[in-house]
């Protein structure tokens, strides 16, 4: 699939960017799941023009319809991998799709990465990990657990199965693409659904986890909530988030990498709807202008 | 930078200067992170009284987020703290000995012994807040 602008994230920032870009007659594809937006669970009272509390998911649905009306295409899947090929960007989705794009807008928001259970902090770096790609090598031949419900957990389990002797994928309810579900059918991956982790225990390092009262012995616990985050997607194309995980942009919402824009919570505080749509507006306009400029230059130089 | 960070930075500069005056041999300490390997580890941690060793690997994304902080701090703390970088891909014995099971991990080593560690990519202020007490001691 080919497009002019690819937007990763369908929260208010991404959808607003899609609306502005699509109205400028460039092709727009937007990835992500509305229900995973921070706004989906919010009751908003401090946004211009809205006085009574309004349910966030309703705003998102209306926004999606608006963007579609102007021609933006929605793919309700997570991005798993982003890379650069010549002067284009290629994204791989959890459904196995590949989208090639001239410009990318990051609008992934911020999401909870910590579980908040006993032992999690104590054992970080001693068996508890938030990055399967980084730490898989330390768990060769060992038993590990992966915690999470979405595409990040599923793809991490698939990676870890190549190193660990056994991978338990523990989720309340796994919600990911069929493509990933198929890849999870590996001999040493066991899916445990519907159980809640209440504690990570051990002495000097992780010894196991408590699941609804019963114990499961593992040496590694990989916490992979939600979708692949900004770090995993950004660093591959040469974009370095600050240590808080935020992406720095200039007043045109441009990042330090040519062709990549960012908007919304991902750019840092205030983590508010009004700021997200404001930045989305600028990112959408600037990305569209950028794509038109390079298309014109390409034509001139043949 | 906010006001609090600015005040902390000034205090730290003063402290660093005082220690430097007390220990003139520290003038020759490296101003950039030095490469630590399984082979040179023991010798190097004996040589410098206070060290921060960054366990990292090239393919680790969060490691790349703190790499510039380590570079910066090596310069700012030159003479007081020596920073080292240990590639866990090429050197597996030392991480194993210390029970490092994730990267990035910063080991704070005082007089050859681990006194503290920091796991994961964290802001500079957090590393400084941990280091402060070992500088004072
Ligand atoms: C409980 C709660 C209450 C709030 N109340 C208010 C309020 O009253 N007023 C206010 O102004 N703000 C409020 N906020 C904040 C507001 O919701 C956020 O500032 C806003 O949603 C940010 O928009 P965003 O588009 O940047 O990110 P988000 O809305 O978080 O959207 C991010 C999108 O990116 C997608 N995504 C993430 N990773 C990937 C990936 N790898 N591939 C594809 N897609 C991906 C997600 O699925 C989601 O669709 C509240 C937030 C919460 C959690």
- Residue A240, pLDDT > 80, answer yes
* φ and ψ of A17, to 5 deg: -60, -40
Q: Mean per-residue pLDDT for A203-226?
A: 95
The Cα of B86 is separated from the nearest Cα of chain A by a number of Å equal to 15
Which two structure tokens, joined as six digits, stand for A234?
Answer: 């950004």
- A27 pLDDT exceeds 90? yes
**pLDDT for residue A55 is more than 60:** yes
Contact B24, B84 (CB under 8 A): no
Please, which residues 75-114 of chain B have a Cβ atom closer than 8 Å to chain A? 88-89, 95, 99-103, 105
User: How confident is residue B26, by pLDDT bands cut at 50, 70 and 90?
Assistant: low
pLDDT in tens, B44-64: 999 999 999 999 998 888 898
pTM of structure: 0.87
| pLDDT at res. A230 | 84
- Among residues B45, B51, B60, B73, which one is catalytic? B60
**B15 vs B102, more confident:** B102
Residue pLDDT, tens place only, B124-133 = 999 999 999 9
Whole-number pLDDT of residue B103: 96
All residues of chain B having their beta carbon less than 8 Å from the beta carbon of residue A269 are: none
From chain A, pick out residues whose CB is under 8 angstroms from the CB of B72: none
Give the per-residue pLDDT at B18: 74
B23 pLDDT higher than 70: no
Q: Using the mean position of ligand 1's atoms as its centre, give its distance from the Cα of residue B69 in Å.
A: 29
The CATH number of the domain covering residues in B31-135:
3.40.30.10
For A142, the closest chain B residue by CA position comes to: B101
pLDDT at B6: 77
A242 in contact with chain B, both atoms CB, cutoff 8 A: yes
The CA B44 to ligand 1 mean position distance, Å, reads 47
Average of per-residue pLDDT across A20-48: 95
Q: Is residue A36 lining ligand 1, measured as CB closer than 6 Å?
A: yes
Helix/strand/coil for A232: helix
Is B60 a residue of the active site? yes
User: Is pLDDT of A24 > 80?
Assistant: yes
Determine, for residues A243 and B99 on separate chains, whether the beta-carbon distance falls below 8 Å.
Answer: no
Q: What is the per-residue burial (b if ≥16 Cβ within 10 Å, else e) of B38-54?
A: eeebeebbeebbbbbbb
- Nearest ligand 1 atom to the CA of A56 is 17
Instruction: Give the pairing of strands B50-56 and A166-171.
Output: unpaired
B53–A contact, CB cutoff 8 A: no
The pLDDT value recorded for residue A113 is 83
More confident residue, A89 or B122: A89
Q: Taking CB atoms and an 8 Å cutoff, what residues of chain A touch B65?
A: 231, 235, 240-243
Contact (CB, 8 A) for B95 and B88: yes
The 3-class secondary structure across chain B, one letter per residue, is CCHHHHHHHHHHHHHHHHHHHHCHHHHHCCCCCEEECCCCHHHHHHHCCEEEEEEECCCCHHHHHHHHHHHHHHHHCCCCCEEEEEECCCCCHHHHHHCCCCCCEEEEEECCEEEEEEECCCCHHHHHHHHHHHHHC
Of all protein residues, the one whose alpha carbon is nearest to atom 12 of ligand 1 is A272
Q: What integer best gives the mean pLDDT of chain A?
A: 94
φ and ψ at residue B136, rounded to 5 degrees: -70, -40
At A63-73, the pLDDT tens digits run 999 999 999 99
Q: Which domains does chain A have, with CATH numbers?
A: 2-111+229-301 (3.50.50.60), 128-223 (3.50.50.60)
Q: Are A235 and B64 a contacting pair at CB < 8 A?
A: yes
Q: What is the pLDDT of residues A134-169, one digit of tens each?
A: 999 999 999 999 999 999 999 999 999 999 999 999
pLDDT at B20: 66
CA A292 and chain centroid, separation? 27
Cβ of A243 under 8 Å from any chain B Cβ? yes
Q: Percent of chain A having pLDDT more than 90?
A: 82
CA–centroid distance, residue A273 to ligand 1 (Å): 8
Does position A277 have pLDDT exceeding 90, yes or no?
yes
Residues 6+ apart with CB under 8 A from A199: A117, A118, A119, A209, A210
């Amino acid at each position: 699939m080919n497009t002019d602008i690819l937007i990763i994230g369908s929260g208010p920032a991404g959808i607003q960017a899609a609306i502005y870009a699509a109205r400028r007659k460039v092709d727009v594809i937007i990835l992500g799941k509305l229900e995973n937006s921070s706004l989906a669970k919010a009751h908003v009272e401090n946004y211009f023009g809205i006085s009574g509390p309004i349910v966030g998911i309703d705003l998102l649905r209306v926004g999606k319809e608006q963007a579609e009306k102007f021609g933006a295409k929605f793919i309700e899947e997570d991005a798993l991998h982003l890379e650069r090929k010549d002067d284009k960007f290629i994204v791989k989705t959890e459904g196995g799709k590949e989208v090639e794009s001239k410009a990318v807008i990051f609008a992934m928001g911020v999401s909870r990465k910590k579980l908040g259970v006993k032992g999690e902090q104590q054992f970080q770096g001693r068996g508890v990990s938030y990055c399967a790609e980084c730490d898989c090598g330390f768990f060769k031949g060992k038993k590990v657990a992966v915690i999470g419900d979405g595409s990040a957990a599923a793809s991490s389990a698939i990676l870890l199965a190549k190193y660990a002797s056994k991978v338990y994928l523990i989720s309340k309810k796994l919600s990911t693409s069929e493509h990933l579900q198929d890849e999870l059918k590996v001999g040493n991956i066991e899916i445990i659904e519907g159980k809640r982790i209440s504690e990570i225990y051990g002495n000097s390092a992780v010894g196991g986890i408590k699941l609804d009262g019963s114990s499961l012995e593992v040496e590694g616990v990989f916490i992979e909530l939600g979708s692949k985050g900004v770090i995993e997607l950004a660093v591959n194309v040469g974009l370095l988030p600050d240590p808080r995980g935020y992406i720095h942009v200039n007043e045109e919402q441009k990042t330090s990498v040519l062709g990549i824009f960012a908007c919304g919570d991902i750019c840092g505080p205030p983590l508010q709807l009004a700021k997200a749509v404001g930045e989305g507006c600028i990112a959408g306009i600037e990305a569209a202008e950028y794509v038109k400029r390079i298309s014109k230059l390409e034509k001139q130089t043949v | 930078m906010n006001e609090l960070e600015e005040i902390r930075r000034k205090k730290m500069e003063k402290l660093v200067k005082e220690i430097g005056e007390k220990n003139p041999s520290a003038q020759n300490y490296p101003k950039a992170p030095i490469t630590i390997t399984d082979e040179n580890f023991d010798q190097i941690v004996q040589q410098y009284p206070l060290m921060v060793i960054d366990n990292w690997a090239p393919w680790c994304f969060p490691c790349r987020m703190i790499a510039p902080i380590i570079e910066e701090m090596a310069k700012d703390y030159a003479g007081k703290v020596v920073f080292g970088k240990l590639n866990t891909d090429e050197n597996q014995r030392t991480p194993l000995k210390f029970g490092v099971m994730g990267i990035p991990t910063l080991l704070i080593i005082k007089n050859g012994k681990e006194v503290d560690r920091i796991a994961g990519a964290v802001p500079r202020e957090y590393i400084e807040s941990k280091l402060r007490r070992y500088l004072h001691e």
